[in-house]
Chain A
Amino acid sequence: MSTPVITAWSAVSAFGIGRAAFDTGLAAPVGGVAGNADTREVPGFDIRDVLGPRGTRSMDRLTGLTLAAVAELVGEHAAVAEGTDTALVLGTTTGSAQSAMAFTRSSLEAERPFYVDPAVVPNGVMNRAAGQAAIRHRLIGPNTTIAGGRVAALQALQYAGRLLGAGRAGTVLAGGVEELTPARLWLERNSAQGRHGVIGEGGAFFAVTTDARHALADVLAVRSLALAGDDQEKAMRRCVTAALARAGVPAAEVWAVAPGNSTVELFDDAVVIAPEDRLGETGAASGALQLAAVLSTAARTPGAAGRIAVIASVEHGAVVACAVLRLRGRS
């Protein structure tokens, strides 16, 4: 099968909405992000302002962020939404925990347990955001939600490659999204990986296809591996080594690495790209925002074309994942 390529991308983050805001924010030396001391949020993200009044009355933040990211991508790359074989693959942690919990709370506090708002029932289901993105853009190909936390976006990229390889889609819109809500914050603060540090939100989407004409990067390999009690650094070394072998690239050739929350050895001289230093820990969006940062950095770096980048992520105590890309530089 031919190598999957990324032909377009979009991002919604503490830098703002859209690729231009992301490019500008990432290139700026410091600051440029919204939030409190220990949180980062997408600035001014009012769902109705961003997406309009239609169909947004009962929409939750996760779906709003997803639709904003997908709309930016489709806007940039209108061809992706046409045809019957465009798929959408969304990485998540567990959907909108906020919506699920708010719904249960409304049942427990109502005079009768079923005096609840029927319009928000689907918000509590994990595939809500992906399904709504399909409706909005008439995406009738496979529509898949991958729940993997911090490795979800890289797993979505891997899944996208399989859909293309099996001929189940011609183009896949793949990405990861996370919302900053009280429910998410509680879950993060009571988990080992989110106990400390800055918690952020956002998302990024990528058009993935096998048509290399407008390629920004070749997706040479994506791997994810279970920890199953193994040491995290050791597992990541195995994961990266396997992915590089699959890509046919020696470690010494790696130009840039986006290690995310992981410790990746093997690349002493590589440029380190770390959007999380500014955007915070963005959960299921993290791998997607790291990938966006790699593409953004490559686009403004002379000589990046043809070079190799590695993106890595860890879901603490559970799974490690990485992707190996060959950058095509500015198109």
Chain B
Amino acid sequence: MTPYRTTDDRVVLTGLGVVSNIGIGASEFAEGLRAGRSGAAPITTFDTTGFAHANGCEVTGFDPEAVLTRVPVDDLGPATRFAVAAARMAVEDAGLDEELLRGRRGLVSVGTTDGESQDLDRLVETDVRLGAGHRDTRLAERIPAGRLSSSVAAELGLTNVEPVTIGTACAAGNYAIGHGYDALRAGEVEFAICGGADAVCRKTFTGFYRLGTIAPDHCRPFDRNRRGILTGEGSGMVVMETLTSALDRGAPIYAEVLGYGLNCDAHHPVAPDRASVARCIRLALDDAGVAPAEVDLISAHGTGTKANDVTEARAIHDVYGGEPPRVVSLKSMLGHTMGAASALAAIACALAITHEFIPPTINHVETDPDCRIDCVPNQSVRADLRIVQNNGLAFGGNNAVLILGRCPR
């Protein structure tokens, strides 16, 4: 597959941190994926009066106070809380000592769509309800999206890391993981804590609603009667290091990052472009040194909108010919968690490889004949997965495709 790479040149995932609407922490998340749990429920973050329907996939049962030890919770916006908590969990899951980490050079990269837009919404709600001059000024410091990554460093007490927030919308999680991969392979850092985070907000729900892309009840990717997305929230963060580093400290390895691809449609602000998505998949496979026939599973962007699913499925067929591997959409369970989406999906892929199962596409009734894929409807299945592809497609035509593989033990 990639015989020319040395263990210094190979990058592995050794820690997973999850704040999701189907489970907090990697093991609860894995259980949720295997059970085909749904995160959908009526939205409570903001007043949904006036919308004909307003389901979403919010995180419940998450107590940041219980996880964070250094940074005061009130200093962080809701998306940053998710990111920081997930990062701390990932570091603990990797069995990494904080003192040890502090002595090493690292990268923290966090992808996001909306940053702290929920806080921006709050400012506007105050303006409308009480008039100008009543805003909570304490929100100003926590709104810049750079806080998503710099707060991870602050919480973990890491002063020798480069904190980067990547705002490439709904592909941002894959972008962030790819950035860590490049920094590690270049030998510029010794570890990377990467992923994505977003919090449900009125702005984004309303935008998708106005575009006619919010599903009335559930998200049904690849179904003939799919009606759209449900906006979701959470964070997925991973610890990455070289294979040498992981072997030296005897760390458990979930998966290897084999490569990734980035491109831009440069075509339409919101509609995905079939040829460009196919090109991005090919870029990723080439980067990983993997042939399409070697891929065992595709975790699709799979938003559940009419346009995305058929375009993405056709792009997959373009690359894979008539016989693509199984194609699942995590968004059937998690909703669209925006900047966290491809990070949570990457974690799901790593768990699927480790625990030998394929998470299902739930809420599925009848596959759209225009999509022509096996989406593993409703029930997870056992599977021996060697190579998995994780798609992230975004507004702005920002595509990012990640290839993960089982690390030979």
- Residues A127-160 near B (CB distance < 8 A): 127-128, 130-132, 134-135, 137-149, 151-152, 155, 158-159
Chain A residues closer than 8 Å to B398, beta-carbon distance: 127, 130-131, 143-144
- B145, B156, B164: the one contacting A155 at CB < 8 Å is B164
A37 to chain B, nearest CB (A): 21
For the complex, give the distance between the alpha carbons of A224 and B156 in Å.
17
Chain B residues closer than 8 Å to A118, beta-carbon distance: 210-211
For the complex, give the distance between the alpha carbons of A159 and B395 in Å.
21
For the complex, give the distance between the alpha carbons of A115 and B207 in Å.
10
Judged by a CB distance under 8 angstroms, whether A229 is at the interface is yes
The reply to whether A142 and B263 contact each other, CB–CB distance below 8 Å, is yes
| Chain A proximity mask over B199-215: 1 for CB below 8 Å, otherwise 0 | 00011101111110000
- Which among B48, B51, B185, B206 has the greatest number of chain A C-beta atoms within 10 A? B206
For the complex, give the distance between the alpha carbons of A109 and B202 in Å.
13
Chain B residues closer than 8 Å to A93, beta-carbon distance: 144-146
Known: A94-B116, A112-B50, A186-B135. A134 touches B397 (CB 8 A): yes
Residue ID in chain B nearest A106 by CB atoms: B206
Known: A100-B120, A101-B123. A107 touches B276 (CB 8 A): no
For the complex, give the distance between the alpha carbons of A227 and B267 in Å.
39
Chain B residues closer than 8 Å to A265, beta-carbon distance: none
Chain A residues closer than 8 Å to B117, beta-carbon distance: 100, 124
- Residues B128-173 near A (CB distance < 8 A): 128, 135, 137, 140-141, 143-148, 150-151, 153-154, 156-169
The reply to whether B276 and A140 contact each other, CB–CB distance below 8 Å, is yes
B70 to chain A, nearest CB (A): 8
A221 to chain B, nearest CB (A): 11
Known: A131-B395, A318-B163. A116 touches B206 (CB 8 A): yes
Chain A residues closer than 8 Å to B135, beta-carbon distance: 186, 190
Chain A residues closer than 8 Å to B166, beta-carbon distance: 144-147
Chain B residues closer than 8 Å to A186, beta-carbon distance: 123, 135, 140
Judged by a CB distance under 8 angstroms, whether B270 is at the interface is yes
Judged by a CB distance under 8 angstroms, whether B223 is at the interface is no
The reply to whether A146 and B128 contact each other, CB–CB distance below 8 Å, is no
Residue ID in chain A nearest B102 by CB atoms: A228
Known: A127-B168, A166-B182. A190 touches B140 (CB 8 A): yes
| Chain B proximity mask over A15-46: 1 for CB below 8 Å, otherwise 0 | 00000000000000000000000000000000
Judged by a CB distance under 8 angstroms, whether B113 is at the interface is yes
- Residues B250-266 near A (CB distance < 8 A): 262-266
The reply to whether B266 and A187 contact each other, CB–CB distance below 8 Å, is no
The reply to whether A148 and B397 contact each other, CB–CB distance below 8 Å, is no
For the complex, give the distance between the alpha carbons of A168 and B178 in Å.
11
The reply to whether A227 and B154 contact each other, CB–CB distance below 8 Å, is yes
Judged by a CB distance under 8 angstroms, whether A245 is at the interface is no
The reply to whether B203 and A131 contact each other, CB–CB distance below 8 Å, is no
Known: A142-B264, A186-B140, A228-B154. A105 touches B124 (CB 8 A): yes
Chain B residues closer than 8 Å to A108, beta-carbon distance: 124-125, 128, 202
A208 to chain B, nearest CB (A): 15
For the complex, give the distance between the alpha carbons of A149 and B141 in Å.
11
- Residues B232-264 near A (CB distance < 8 A): 262-264
Residue ID in chain A nearest B122 by CB atoms: A104
Chain B residues closer than 8 Å to A223, beta-carbon distance: 162
Chain A residues closer than 8 Å to B154, beta-carbon distance: 226-229, 318
Count contacts on B: residues with CB < 8 A to the other chain.
79
Chain A residues closer than 8 Å to B270, beta-carbon distance: 121-122
Known: A114-B209, A116-B210. A135 touches B150 (CB 8 A): no
- A105, A116, A135, A190: the one contacting B266 at CB < 8 Å is A135
- B185, B202, B207: the one contacting A166 at CB < 8 Å is B185
Residue ID in chain B nearest A99 by CB atoms: B203
The reply to whether B143 and A135 contact each other, CB–CB distance below 8 Å, is no
Known: A127-B167, A135-B267. A94 touches B159 (CB 8 A): no
Judged by a CB distance under 8 angstroms, whether B342 is at the interface is no
B53 to chain A, nearest CB (A): 11
For the complex, give the distance between the alpha carbons of A40 and B276 in Å.
40
Judged by a CB distance under 8 angstroms, whether A281 is at the interface is no
Judged by a CB distance under 8 angstroms, whether A271 is at the interface is no
The reply to whether B266 and A140 contact each other, CB–CB distance below 8 Å, is yes
The reply to whether A226 and B203 contact each other, CB–CB distance below 8 Å, is no
- A88, A166, A225: the one contacting B162 at CB < 8 Å is A225
B197 to chain A, nearest CB (A): 12
B183 to chain A, nearest CB (A): 6
B69 to chain A, nearest CB (A): 13
Chain B residues closer than 8 Å to A101, beta-carbon distance: 120, 123-124
For the complex, give the distance between the alpha carbons of A108 and B162 in Å.
39
The reply to whether B144 and A149 contact each other, CB–CB distance below 8 Å, is yes
- Residues A144-194 near B (CB distance < 8 A): 144-149, 151-152, 155, 158-159, 162-163, 165-166, 168, 183, 186-187, 190-192
Chain A residues closer than 8 Å to B50, beta-carbon distance: 112-114
Chain B residues closer than 8 Å to A155, beta-carbon distance: 162, 164
Chain B residues closer than 8 Å to A145, beta-carbon distance: 166-168
Judged by a CB distance under 8 angstroms, whether A92 is at the interface is yes
Judged by a CB distance under 8 angstroms, whether A285 is at the interface is no
Chain A residues closer than 8 Å to B262, beta-carbon distance: 87, 141-144, 168
For the complex, give the distance between the alpha carbons of A142 and B174 in Å.
12
Judged by a CB distance under 8 angstroms, whether A64 is at the interface is no
- A100, A142, A192, A228: the one contacting B157 at CB < 8 Å is A228
Known: A142-B263, A155-B164. A315 touches B395 (CB 8 A): no
Judged by a CB distance under 8 angstroms, whether B108 is at the interface is yes
The reply to whether B202 and A107 contact each other, CB–CB distance below 8 Å, is yes
For the complex, give the distance between the alpha carbons of A162 and B162 in Å.
13
| Sampled A-B contacts (25; CB under 8 Å) | A93-B144, A93-B145, A94-B144, A97-B143, A118-B211, A121-B208, A122-B207, A122-B396, A125-B204, A125-B395, A126-B167, A127-B394, A134-B396, A135-B269, A140-B265, A140-B279, A141-B263, A143-B263, A159-B164, A166-B186, A223-B162, A225-B160, A226-B162, A228-B153, A228-B158
- Taking Cβ atoms with an 8 Å cutoff, the residues of B that contact A are 48-51, 70, 108, 112-117, 120-121, 123-125, 127-128, 135, 137, 140-141, 143-148, 150-151, 153-154, 156-169, 175, 179, 182-183, 185-186, 188, 202-204, 206-211, 262-270, 276, 279, 394-398
- Give the top 4 A-B pairs by smallest Cβ distance, nearest first: A131-B396, A226-B153, A126-B167, A190-B140
Task: Using A147-B115, A162-B179, A226-B154 as known contacts, list a sample of 12 further A-B pairs with CB atoms less than 8 Å apart, ordered by residue number in A.
Answer: A93-B144, A101-B120, A104-B203, A118-B210, A143-B263, A166-B182, A168-B262, A187-B143, A224-B163, A228-B154, A318-B147, A319-B150
